[in-house]
Amino acid sequence: MSHLRDMVSYVALKPPRARACVSCLLETATNQHNEGTGVAELKDPKMPKEVLDKGTEVIGITDEFCREHLDAKYAQLCHNVVGKLARKRPSPLLRGDLRIWASGVIYSMASQNFLFDKSQPMHLSAQQLGELLGVKKTTMGNKGNIVRSLLKIGMMDPEFTHPDLLKDNPLTWMLLVDGMPMDVRGLPVEFQRQAFDMGLIPYVPGEEATDG
């Protein structure tokens, strides 16, 4: 039988970063929640100290907010976003109010993951979000749009999808097999395991169905 490794590539706007994220996002967020970690810090020896300090301050704001009003998985998403903003050259975090940047980061992940949808188990309106953050809704929304633009965040991008929503995100499971887009959930379990080992999917869906 052919090996998936020789046949497959991930269907996404930004494949390399998505591979790293989809395979570890569930584990990272779960570990952070279970360990009860405090405020995270940016740790990058190549990053200027000023950027590290500002990024860490933004993460402190997003972590505290997510801990009080959302969950550890949202906190990890925000941490990832802040890290990417900090690594841009020059970093946009060097200019502007850091609380506004934090609100934009949270808004970008909230809109990405349907937090404003009343039908979702976890729900806040944009107005409530702004009030809790102490930032005007329009200011927060504008900064959130800037964040999405700077990082080229597309709708349903698995890298920025809350782990609880990954299962229902079609892009999580889409692969190019021999040049044809396919839903990995329709492939044999052996291929699914190979895709999981390659870091292309968060878990093996065929095994979950069997366990159920």
What is the tens place of the pLDDT at every residue in 168-204?
777 778 887 777 888 888 888 988 888 888 878 878 8
- Look at strands 180-183 and 8-10 and give their pairing: unpaired
Instruction: Give me the architecture of the 38-160 domain, per CATH.
Output: Orthogonal Bundle (1.10)
Q: Which of 14-18, 82-86, 113-117 has the lowest mean pLDDT?
A: 14-18
Does the predicted model carry a pTM greater than 0.75? no
Mean pLDDT for all residues in the chain: 81
| pLDDT value, residue 209 | 56
The full set of domain ranges for the chain reads 4-10+167-211, 38-160
